[in-house]
């Protein structure tokens, strides 16, 4: 007997998703026999008519822009905060900066990101004519920095203390030890956690619409307000987010493999 070929898991998952999609559309239309013309018309009304797909494209561009630059701000400020806190824990130095860093992290992690976004836009920049994308970048970057700092600090603290002592015995200063010995090792340990933080950051940008910014979620919501149909616009937005997250996860996994190869 010939062996049956195994069906790839991706194809099975795709078939299952298509089945769910078809069932949901069928239930929404209520006309089993006219399913194909019905869904074609609905796709046309939601995405093709009046170039409504451009709202999703514009929103996707703003979402990507906000996520990218907020991620850079989060990394820069987060690493600075982490090094300040580690310097205080190891040497007892910079007590004032350590207190400010702890206060910053406590406030940012203890309040919702939506409230922070609204405060920055409606309070801090209330009297300034500033681009909403820039406001979102600042808000999400400041928020992400608090979480990145704790991730980085935990990675640094996970490195054996003997590494610090070995660096000191060689006459190296604290900055040199951190840059050349500790941080390269810590980065490999915290890469998965950093990847998760950036995925969370991407999804958190979906609240940018609260300040009237056309992000990806807002684009889908605008289509819904015009067509009075929620299913297709929201599913389209969800699928776009899912694709981006899958690509980000694949990128992080690829980087992890590359770093492991360099260890050998």
Give me the domains of the chain, ranges plus CATH numbers. Answer: 57-263 (1.10.3720.10)
**Residues contacting residue 107 through CB under 8 Å, at least 6 positions apart:** none
pLDDT at 137 over 50: yes
Q: Which residue in this structure is represented by tokens 């610090």? A: 164
**Pair of tokens at residue 83:** 């090094």
34-46 residue pLDDT tens: 556 788 888 877 8
pLDDT (average), residues 16-36: 50
2: confidence class by pLDDT, cuts 50, 70, 90:
very low
pLDDT band at 50 (very low <50, low <70, confident <90, very high): confident
Position with higher pLDDT, 186 vs 136 = 136
The pair phi, psi for residue 246, each rounded to 5°, is -60, -40
Give residue 11's pLDDT: 45
């Amino acid at each position: 007997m010939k062996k049956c070929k195994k069906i790839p898991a991706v194809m099975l998952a795709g078939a299952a998703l298509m089945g769910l999609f078809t069932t949901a559309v069928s239930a929404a239309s209520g006309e089993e026999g006219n399913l194909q013309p019905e869904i074609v018309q609905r796709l046309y009304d939601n995405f093709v008519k009046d170039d409504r797909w451009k709202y999703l494209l514009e929103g996707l561009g703003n979402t990507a822009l906000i996520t990218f630059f907020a991620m850079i701000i989060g990394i820069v400020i987060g690493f600075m905060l982490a090094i300040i806190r580690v310097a205080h824990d190891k040497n007892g130095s910079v007590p004032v900066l350590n207190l400010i860093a702890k206060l910053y992290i406590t406030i940012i992690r203890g309040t919702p990101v939506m409230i922070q976004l609204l405060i920055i836009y409606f309070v801090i920049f209330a009297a300034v004519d500033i681009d909403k994308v820039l406001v979102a970048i600042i808000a999400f970057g400041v928020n992400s920095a608090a979480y990145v700092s704790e991730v980085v600090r935990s990675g640094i603290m996970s490195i054996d203390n003997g590494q610090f002592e070995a660096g000191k015995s060689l006459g190296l200063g604290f900055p040199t030890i951190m840059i050349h010995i500790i941080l390269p090792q810590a980065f490999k340990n915290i890469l998965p956690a950093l990847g998760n933080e950036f995925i969370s950051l991407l999804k958190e940008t979906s609240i940018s619409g609260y300040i009237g910014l056309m992000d990806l979620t807002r684009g889908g919501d605008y289509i819904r307000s015009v067509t009075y149909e929620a299913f297709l616009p929201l599913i389209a937005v969800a699928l776009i987010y899912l694709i981006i997250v899958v690509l980000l996860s694949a990128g992080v996994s690829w980087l992890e493999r590359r770093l492991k190869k360099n260890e050998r």
